Structures are given as structure tokens and as C-alpha cells.
Amino acid sequence: MPTRADLPETDDALLIRARNGDRESFGELVARHQRRVWRVCRQYLGPADAEAAAQDALVKAYLSLRSFDGRSAFTTWVTRIAINTCLDELRRRRREAPSANGFADRADEDQLAALSDGGPGPEDRSIQRQAVARLAVLEQELPGRQREIFRLRFYAELELEEIAAALGVHVGTVKTQLHRAVHRLREGLGDVR
Amino acid sequence: MNSHLDEREISAAVAGLSLADGSGEHLESCLECRRRVADLALLIGRCRAEQATGEPDWQAARAAVLARLPAVEDVRFEARRLRWWRPLVAAAAVIVAAAAVVLLAPDRVAVDPTESGIPVEEILAEVDAVLGDDSIPGFELIDPGLETLSGVVANGSS
């Protein structure tokens, strides 16, 4: 029978210890949330830079632990830090290369490149790959906010409330934008599915 | 509800949004509508799976984060170092605000009486003239007059 000590500690308990300098507790928080942070970063910066951005975000979170007021869940807070880290990186890129299109273009390029690298396979597999590639292209054509919310919902797998909290918008806005994005994608895909 | 969901309702279902009661019940019981919802959901799932193939080694990623953390003492020292000047800034702000209030208060606008354009002499002359006039309205009822007072003194009655 599991004892109380066997139960996993809550994020709050780990946070208190991490604030007092317990690096192992922060390490446990990292282990719990790094995948989600990486997924969020991947949507903004693409796979090549997602890991570095996720590390930056987690280190920033550690340095800002004392300013965490607990009004939101730790996961929401760290997700917001990750998004801000990515937006800072995108702004830096835009300053250095004004012609860049911004939000996660590289992610799409990488994704399309990966798709096109595959050799000829079974016919259904090929159709699926075409559909995935088509979805990536259509997604690229979505308005920025719709694309951002679509990716955070379906690829980073955040809940609607988490997206709203991370982006600082009302959950109704998230629902509206997500619905429009999905509808637009369905219209664009037509029979490709 | 017998008719199939319209395109917007299908999109809402794909997005995971709640449908109206009748639409929700229809979706649960209609294979055709569920297939339409599943089509895009599966495609999105395939996209997500493509992305997941590039996931890093999580153990190594965690170790890399921990290796980048500064020592706790450094963080605390930095926090203290950032804090010591805050009271000084607050005190300086209070002093500046107080000085601004004192210097800019309206009653501090200096008026030199010697430079005043008020006709003091004329006003004093006017006041003297009024005081010298016995017919100040209302005063005759209160002031019995010197003759009346003399009569009172002489006769013992008014």
C-alpha cells in the first residue's frame, strides 16, 4: 500500500523548496514541464531552436521564482515565460533580418522539408503525407493569432484556459479564433483529407 | 435532430468546442458526422506525430537546464544587491515630491504689497466717510442717541 511519502509532490510544494534553493526540486519541476515548454517553443521557433529556447525559458523561470505569486498554476506561468522568450527571439531575428516573416515560418519549412525527404511509399502513406503537407501550407496562411492559437491547442496540447492565460486574452477569444482557424483549414483542405 | 451538422458545427466539434444540445446528441449518434470530425482530427494528429519525432533527450535537456542555473547564493546575493538601493530611491522620490508641492503650491505665489495696484488710500477715505455718516441704515434703532441718554440721566427715566 503506498504511503503518503510515495505520493508525488505537488508543484506548489516543489516550488516552495526550489525557492529556498533546492535545485533538485526545481529539477523535478523541469522534468514535469520541459516537454510542454519545448512543444510551445517549437511552435514559435521550429525544431532547430526549440530546445535552446526551452532551456532559456526554464532558467528564466528559476531566476524569477521569487516573483511567482501563485495566482496562476506553475505550468501556466512557465508557459507564458516560454512564449515571451520565443517572441523576444523572433523580435531579435526580425531586427537582424527584416525580411523574415516571423512566427514559426522555419517550423513549417522544416516540416515541409522533412515531408519531402521521404521516398516513395505505399499509396495511402503518400496521400497522408500530401494531406499533412497541405495542412502545413494552409496553416501558414492563417492570420497570425489564429495560427498561434491553433498550434498551441493542437500541437503544444494546451487547454483553452491555459492558452488564454498564457496569451493574456479572454477564453472566449481563444474559442472564437480557434473555431475560425479550424473552419478555414477545413475549407482549404476540401477533399484532401 | 435528423439533419447532419453544418460545416461550422463540424469545425466547432473538431476544435473541441461545445455544441448546442441537439447538435451534440446528433454527433454522438451519427457516423457520417463523426467521420467528418475525425477526418481533420486525424490529420492534425498526424501533424502532431510528425513534430514529436524530433523531441530531444529529456534527461539530457533537464541536466543542461540544471547546469545553467546559477548558485543559490548568487541568486540571493543578486536579489539583495538589487534591493539595497530601493529605500534610497523611495526616499529621494518623496523628497522630490515634497519639494515640488512646496515650490508649486498656489499660495506660494508671491505678491509684493508695495507693488500692489490696490488703491488703499481711496478705500480708507471711503471707510472714514461711511463711519462719519450718522445715518447708517439700521443703527438709529439700536443707538438711542446722546440726547436720549442725557434725559435718562437727568430724569431717572426714559
**From its phi and psi, is residue B54 left (phi > 0), alpha (psi between -120 and 50) or beta?**
alpha
**Residue B153 pLDDT > 90, yes or no?**
no
Percent of chain B exceeding pLDDT 90 equals 25
Residue A132: what pLDDT? 87
Contact in structure between A162 and A124 (CB atoms under 8 Å) = no
Neighboring chain A residues of B65 at a CB cutoff of 8 Å: 27, 30, 34, 55, 58-59
Residue A28: what pLDDT? 93
**pLDDT-based confidence at B1, cuts 50/70/90?**
low
Instruction: Report the C-alpha gap between A72 and A163 in whole angstroms.
Output: 12
Residues recorded for chain A: 193
Residue A19: what pLDDT? 87
Task: Flag residues of chain A having pLDDT under 50.
Answer: 100-102, 105-120
**pLDDT-based confidence at B19, cuts 50/70/90?**
confident
**Residue B42 pLDDT > 50, yes or no?**
yes
Q: C-alpha distances in angstroms, A63 versus A36, A40, A85, A160, B79? A: 19, 20, 14, 28, 10
Output B124 or B73, whichever has higher pLDDT: B124
Output B12 or B120, whichever has higher pLDDT: B12
Neighboring chain A residues of B48 at a CB cutoff of 8 Å: 154-155, 157
Residue A116: what pLDDT? 39
CB–CB contact B7 A179 (8 Å): no
What letter does residue A64 receive in the DSSP assignment? T
Name the interface residues of A facing B (CB cutoff 8 Å).
Answer: 21, 23, 26-27, 30-31, 34-35, 38-39, 42, 47, 51, 54-55, 58-59, 62-63, 66, 111, 114-115, 128, 131-132, 135-136, 153-155, 157, 160, 175, 178-179, 181-183, 185-187, 189, 193
CB–CB contact A23 B72 (8 Å): yes
CA distance A105 to chain B (A): 14
Residue A115: what pLDDT? 39
Residue A108: what pLDDT? 45
Q: Nearest Cα to B46, choosing from A46, A132, A178, A182?
A: A132
Instruction: Report the C-alpha gap between A99 and A6 in whole angstroms.
Output: 54
Contact in structure between A177 and A145 (CB atoms under 8 Å) = yes
Instruction: Report the C-alpha gap between A116 and A136 in whole angstroms.
Output: 12
Task: Give the count of Cβ contacts less than 8 A between chain A and B.
Answer: 101
**From its phi and psi, is residue A157 left (phi > 0), alpha (psi between -120 and 50) or beta?**
left
Contact in structure between B26 and B33 (CB atoms under 8 Å) = yes
Least confident among A93-102, B8-17, B70-79: B70-79
Interface probe for B, chosen from A19, A26, A30 (most Cβ of B below 10 Å), is A30
**What pLDDT, in 10s, does the model give residues B95-130?**
999 998 888 876 655 556 566 677 778 888 888 887
Contact in structure between A45 and A83 (CB atoms under 8 Å) = no
List all residues 6 or more positions away from A27 whose beta carbon is below 8 Å from its beta carbon: B62, B65, B66
Residue B92: what pLDDT? 93
Instruction: Report the C-alpha gap between B16 and A184 in whole angstroms.
Output: 15
Neighboring chain A residues of B74 at a CB cutoff of 8 Å: none
**What's the average model confidence in pLDDT over B35-48?**
90
Crossing angle of helices A105-117 and A23-45, in 10° steps, is: 80
CA distance B15 to chain A (A): 6
Q: C-alpha distances in angstroms, B133 versus A49, A176, B130? A: 100, 87, 5
Neighboring chain B residues of A30 at a CB cutoff of 8 Å: 62, 65-66
**What's the average model confidence in pLDDT over B48-59?**
85
Rounded to two decimals, the pTM is 0.64
**Mean residue pLDDT across chain B:** 78
Instruction: Report the C-alpha gap between B122 and A123 in whole angstroms.
Output: 113
Report the residue of chain A nearest B73, measured CA to CA: A21
A47 closest CB neighbour out of B43, B54, B61: B54
